Amino acid sequence: MTCYHWLASYPKSGNTWLRLSLGSLARGGTPPDFAAVELFAPVAGDRAAVDDMADADTADLTPAEAEAVLPGFFRLEAAWLGGQQLRKVHDAWTLTPAGEPLFPPDVTAGAIYVVRDPRDVAVSLAHHLSTGIDQAIAFMADDGAALARGGHYGSPQLRQRLLTWGGHVRSWLGAPARPLLLRYEDMLADPAAALARAARHLGWEPRPGAVARAVAATRFDTLRAAEERHGFRERAWPDVRFFRRGVAGGWRDTLTAPQAAAIEAAHRDVMAELGYL
């Protein structure tokens, strides 16, 4: 049963904005509810879901063992839920230790891949993780980089292997799902066009006016204001703002020339292919 559409991106690339916009569109253009427990398009392979659906104690599994469970988990969840399921994904498109695609093609209906200028990603990532920009740049160039590495108390997510920033892009654009590629910069320049493309890719047929309403309901300043009022549950740290600037090219007034050069050197080919150089 094909069921999943993966909304994939490297972290801090506009994935959440896309999810909120799609969620709004799915509700006819109403504003997102930041006080809600679960956002539209929950994270793929949420630990609680894996424990329950795959009969697993992920608390006692190594990250590699948990990863090996995921393809089977997705098949069980797909059969259980049925219908179209959207999932947020930060993992690169990789194979499990057993050599199986982490995101099984047999339950994949499609994918949307959101990409953002890695120089802007570096600035945003440093802020999000409360780390230095140089550390963020090194993280983006590390083939072994991962989110939620495990080995700590209080981690609601399983390890997500990212590869390098460029490796992440290549892994998804080469995946069998043949994702729709959305550039964050294009989403900013013409959000209605980007959202309409995403909706079409998902096979949705929005009612007249719904795309415009969803765009208005998820303008960056609107989301920022909502976060001011309600907080935002996907903050990495309780007191660090999630929706920060929402601009393209902000790196120009933040990165030093050597920092920008380091990112360009590490990811030159992929950046050029995507029109960032």
Partner 1 sequence: MTYALCGLRVASELPLPELLPWVGEDRPADIEVRLGDVPPRLEDPAHAGPLLQAARDGTCLYAIAGVASYLVEGGRRVTVRPWADAGAADVRVFLLGSVFGFLCHQRGLLPLHAGCVEVNGKAVALAGHSGVGKSTLTAAFMRQGFPILADDVTVVDLAAPGGPLVLPSFPRVKLWRDALEGMGIPAGGLDRVRRDLDKFQVPVGAGFRATPLPLGAVYHLRTVSDRRHAGEEALRGAASVAALVEAVYRRMSAFRMGRREAVMAALMRLTAVPGVRLSRVMDMAQLDATAAGIAARHGAGVAG
- Chain residues binding partner 1 by CB under 8 A are 35, 47-48, 51-62, 65, 68-69, 71-73, 76, 151-157, 230-235, 237-238
**Whole-angstrom Cα distance, residue 258 to residue 249?**
16
Nearer to partner 1, 100 or 134 (CB): 100
Span between the terminal Cα atoms of the chain, in Å = 41
Three-state DSSP class for residue 5: strand
CA nearest to 142, candidates 276, 267, 17, 30: 267
Provide, rounded to whole angstroms, the least separation between the CB of residue 217 and partner 1. 21
**Whole-angstrom Cα distance, residue 239 to residue 237?**
6
The two tokens of residue 139 are: 């993280």
Provide, rounded to whole angstroms, the least separation between the CB of residue 45 and partner 1. 12
Provide, rounded to whole angstroms, the least separation between the CB of residue 226 and partner 1. 12
Nearer to partner 1, 1 or 35 (CB): 35
Provide, rounded to whole angstroms, the least separation between the CB of residue 253 and partner 1. 28
Three-state DSSP class for residue 160: strand
CA nearest to 16, candidates 37, 42, 36: 42
Provide, rounded to whole angstroms, the least separation between the CB of residue 86 and partner 1. 21
Nearer to partner 1, 61 or 180 (CB): 61
Q: Per DSSP, what are the bridge partners of residue 6?
A: 87, 111
Nearer to partner 1, 219 or 241 (CB): 241
Nearer to partner 1, 104 or 206 (CB): 104
Provide, rounded to whole angstroms, the least separation between the CB of residue 34 and partner 1. 9
**160-161 and 85-89 strand pairing:** unpaired
**Whole-angstrom Cα distance, residue 60 to residue 56?**
9
Nearer to partner 1, 190 or 234 (CB): 234
The two tokens of residue 226 are: 């909502």
